[in-house]
Amino acid sequence: MLTKQDKQQKITYCTNMNEVFEAKLGSADLLLNWDHLRGRIRDRVDAGDIGSAFLKLALDVAHVLPDGVDDQLARAAFHFQSAKGAKSKHADSVQAGLRVLSIDLGVRSFATCSVFELKDTAPTTGVAFPLAEFRLWAVHERSFTLELPGENVGAAGQQWRAQADAELRQLRGGLNRHRQLLRAATVQKGERDAYLTDLREAWSAKELWPFEASLLSELERCSTVADPLWQDTCKRAARLYRTEFGAVVSEWRSRTRSREDRKYAGKSMWSVQHLTDVRRFLQSWSLAGRASGDIRRLDRERGGVFAKDLLDHIDALKDDRLKTGADLIVQAARGFQRNEFGYWVQKHAPCHVILFEDLSRYRMRTDRPRRENSQLMQWAHRGVPDMVGMQGEIYGIQDRRDPDSARKHARQPLAAFCLDTPAAFSSRYHASTMTPGIRCHPLRKREFEDQGFLELLKRENEGLDLNGYKPGDLVPLPGGEVFVCLNANGLSRIHADINAAQNLQRRFWTQHGDAFRLPCGKSAVQGQIRWAPLSMGKRQAGALGGFGYLEPTGHDSGSCQWRKTTEAEWRRLSGAQKDRDEAAAAEDEELQGLEEELLERSGERVVFFRDPSGVVLPTDLWFPSAAFWSIVRAKTVGRLRSHLDAQAEASYAVAAGL
């Protein structure tokens, strides 16, 4: 509906989510399709062949704020950004009712979320973090995942994806075998039989196309001919291989462009990765040499961007994934959920804080598997908080991760903040108890027949025997979906991504009050070894209760105990500069995390860990990283296997009627 008020035109409109907005009309532009126009001569364009046209209308949309919004309650969140024990000007604003939504960005689903609320009474059950100085408790309300289309495809979708990946692997294998044929032309006469025997043995383990076996047999028959004839035979074989393999690639590409199975791809990370792999394969095939040593490169000036339409599709998919996922986070912060008709309806009270993990200096999380890090990097995870801040402005959500952004939001309505908090090793500790643990994977029925997966399990678990295991049983696996740790009665299990989201909450509410990781440098005092923390930022000092160093206990494990000392003594032991600021200390700690294995090998610098819960190891002992996580894994895996053995014995007893 279009109205006019004070010489200003306004429009009231309803979105496809059934939300009503008001906006002032701004400028308007007519947008044409350049890809269509540049391929037309001027006369045709003048005659009206302009293709599709779009009207771009700028709108100054009025903010939509929740009823009874209290911006002072939201500002109380800044108190929890300060170090433990430090004075905060926002402490007086802390009160019951403050609600925080934490976001753990992932690979299996777009994000996993957890909501906590400050309350003045302790819960009888569930996860809660006490705030003794305020006599309040941060109480867990709910945890959930935000899924994009194509992220939960069921058994049929998983099977379709497995087939698509297997077919692409087979094509890549064919391209590698083509290269091996090209190299055969350079093999000397006396070495040909051995080369072809190795080739035959390697190819026998692969699924070959019919033409491949005949080409290899032809080479074996000609292995004793003179060099010129041999080279000519190899060239003919490679040429025929290109012809036959090219037909296979063309048929595959034509068939897989079908839209019928797009529902199994959607906006998932798998879809982005698979399409990227497809484009890489097509580019490799396009640039395949015609002879050994023939190197071909793209000529962008003559040929343009390779597979531009596919590249544009991948970029659009990434952009769509980013925007759609950011909208899911914004609506979750508002307390909205989709109803059975697909409309957004408010189910919960809105949150005052959207809490992300700190990605400002993110390079690689050493506590995440390499593949998970790689996939997170590919879809520009840094852009998610930025997009949430941009989309959330209309609802009064202000991105305040950067302290200097306060000027940008001056005089704007406020309902909630976007903040962040460091999250290193949030997947290695149990959020509720701070017990260290391991990641595990629940076995699926089809995986017992997947040789590639079984080999992966054996590489990660030396001596693993799957006899007696059944679907649903847990096996240790980096990046697994389930976090497992010890407790007084046996084992605790929790969805790994939910545990990570709850760990963000713990670190926020406790102001990083749990000291569990300490990068240290080696020094000696009167012949006695001392390990001094390399940096002591405000948060680190607050968690440790001041300055100090680690003193070895003399045990073979390398365990140490914390000894308090003065700031001057710590600086002397660590060699720290007095004017080192908090930001520099944080960057130093990040670099130490990236080089953790290298530091361990040097012997002069070691990263120590401890168990704040006391369940696995005594709370007052710090251990070198390798020893600590080895002990944690050994004890947790031992308990896990004992539990499985007990289950097997119980099942046997039931079956035997005992």
Check whether 648 has a pLDDT greater than 90: no
- Cα 141–142–143 angle (5° rounding)? 145
Whether the CB-CB separation of 203 and 214 falls below 8 Å is answered with no
DSSP β-bridge partners for residue 418:
354, 399
Helix (H) / strand (E) element for 139: namely strand 136-146
Residues 533 and 522: their CA atoms lie apart, in Å, by 9
Based on C-alpha coordinates, what's the Rg of the chain? Answer: 31
What pLDDT is attached to residue 375? 53
Which of helix, strand or coil describes residue 113? strand
| pLDDT tens digits, 12-64 | 988 877 788 899 888 899 999 888 888 788 888 888 899 999 999 898 888 88
Long-range CB pairs of 521-530 (<8 Å, 24+ gap) are 521/573, 521/574, 521/575, 521/604, 521/605, 522/603, 522/604, 522/605, 522/606, 523/573, 523/574, 525/573, 530/573
CA distance readout (Å), 140 to 96, 129, 370: 13, 9, 31
| pLDDT tens digits, 131-147 | 999 999 999 999 999 99
Average pLDDT value for residue range 439-461: 90
Check whether 593 has a pLDDT greater than 80: no
| pLDDT tens digits, 282-318 | 999 999 988 877 778 877 777 788 988 999 999 999 9
| pLDDT tens digits, 57-116 | 898 888 888 887 888 899 999 999 998 888 889 999 999 999 999 999 988 899 999 999
Q: CA dihedral in degrees (181, 182, 185, 189; nearest 10)?
A: -40
What pLDDT is attached to residue 327? 96
Residue with token string 């076996």? 213
Helices and strands counted in the chain (H then E): 19, 23
Percent of the chain with pLDDT over 90: 59
Residues 415 and 399: their CA atoms lie apart, in Å, by 11
Q: Which amino acid is at 545?
A: G
Which of helix, strand or coil describes residue 262? helix
Average pLDDT value for residue range 577-582: 50
Check whether 612 has a pLDDT greater than 50: yes
293: left (phi over 0), alpha (psi -120 to 50) or beta: left
Q: What is the pTM of this model?
A: 0.87
DSSP β-bridge partners for residue 649:
none
Residues 436 and 485: their CA atoms lie apart, in Å, by 6
Helix boundaries (H) for 510-615: 538-544, 567-574, 582-594, 596-602
The listed range with the strongest mean pLDDT (33-42, 412-421, 430-439) is: 430-439
Whether the CB-CB separation of 560 and 552 falls below 8 Å is answered with yes
| Mean pLDDT estimate for the chain | 87
- Cα 307–312–317 angle (5° rounding)? 130
Helix (H) / strand (E) element for 494: namely strand 490-495
Instruction: Give the distance, in angstroms, between the CA of residue 639 and the centroid of all CA atoms in the same chain.
Output: 29
What pLDDT is attached to residue 85? 80
What pLDDT is attached to residue 295? 77
Confidence of residue 129 (pLDDT cuts 50, 70, 90): very high
Mean pLDDT lowest for which of 112-121, 483-492, 570-579? 570-579
| pLDDT tens digits, 252-284 | 999 988 766 677 889 999 999 999 999 999 999
552: nearest Cα among 563, 540, 541 = 563
Tokens coding 309: 């339409």
Residues 381 and 365: their CA atoms lie apart, in Å, by 13
Contacts of 398 by beta carbon, 8 Å cutoff, 6+ apart: 389, 392, 405, 409, 412, 414, 416, 417, 418
